[in-house]
């Protein structure tokens, strides 16, 4: 199968669902399908950071809060994603929040990003709006 940004479809997906990239976040990154839930979009955005896909991050960001451009730090390596909780954000909701902890390594140091992210669904698509970093 095709790869995206150098990620083999048979490799474990960076978002750690246990599925291969080609069955999990890969099809979302390639725009073959849309995320069915806010959590799925959040996981695909984490994976996009992990594989360096800034274009996907921008396209999945709500236009009202989307930055003009986005540079992904190539020295930051994303290691692990833990979803803490999700509220709303299901297939029949129009809004939802997802709290997560993302672990990374940069400059030889481990770090964590904890965020409660807000999502909205418009025109059948989920978008990241913004988040509160804890």
Tens of pLDDT, residue by residue over 22-52, are: 999 999 999 999 999 999 999 999 999 999 9
Q: How much is the pTM?
A: 0.94
Domain ranges of the chain: 21-133
Q: What is the pLDDT of residues 78-126, one digit of tens each?
A: 999 999 999 999 999 999 999 999 999 999 999 999 999 999 999 999 9
In contact, 47 and 30? CB cutoff 8 Å: no
Fold type of domain 21-133: Nuclear Transport Factor 2; Chain: A, (3.10.450)
The first and second tokens of residue 52, run together, are 């360096």
The backbone torsions φ and ψ at residue 128, rounded to the nearest 5 degrees and listed phi first, read -75, 130
């Amino acid at each position: 199968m095709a790869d995206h940004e150098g990620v083999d479809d048979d490799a474990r997906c960076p978002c750690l669902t246990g599925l291969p990239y080609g069955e999990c976040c890969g099809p979302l990154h390639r725009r073959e399908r849309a995320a069915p839930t806010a959590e799925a979009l959040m996981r695909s955005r984490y994976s996009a950071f992990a594989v360096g896909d800034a274009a996907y991050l921008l396209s999945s960001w709500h236009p009202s809060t989307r930055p003009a451009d986005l540079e992904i730090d190539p020295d930051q390596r994303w290691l692990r994603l833990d979803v803490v909780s999700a509220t709303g954000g299901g297939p029949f909701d129009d809004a939802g929040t997802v709290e997560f902890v993302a672990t990374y390594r940069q400059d030889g140091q481990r770090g964590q990003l904890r965020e409660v992210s807000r999502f909205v669904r418009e025109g059948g698509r989920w978008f990241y709006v913004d988040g509160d970093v804890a």
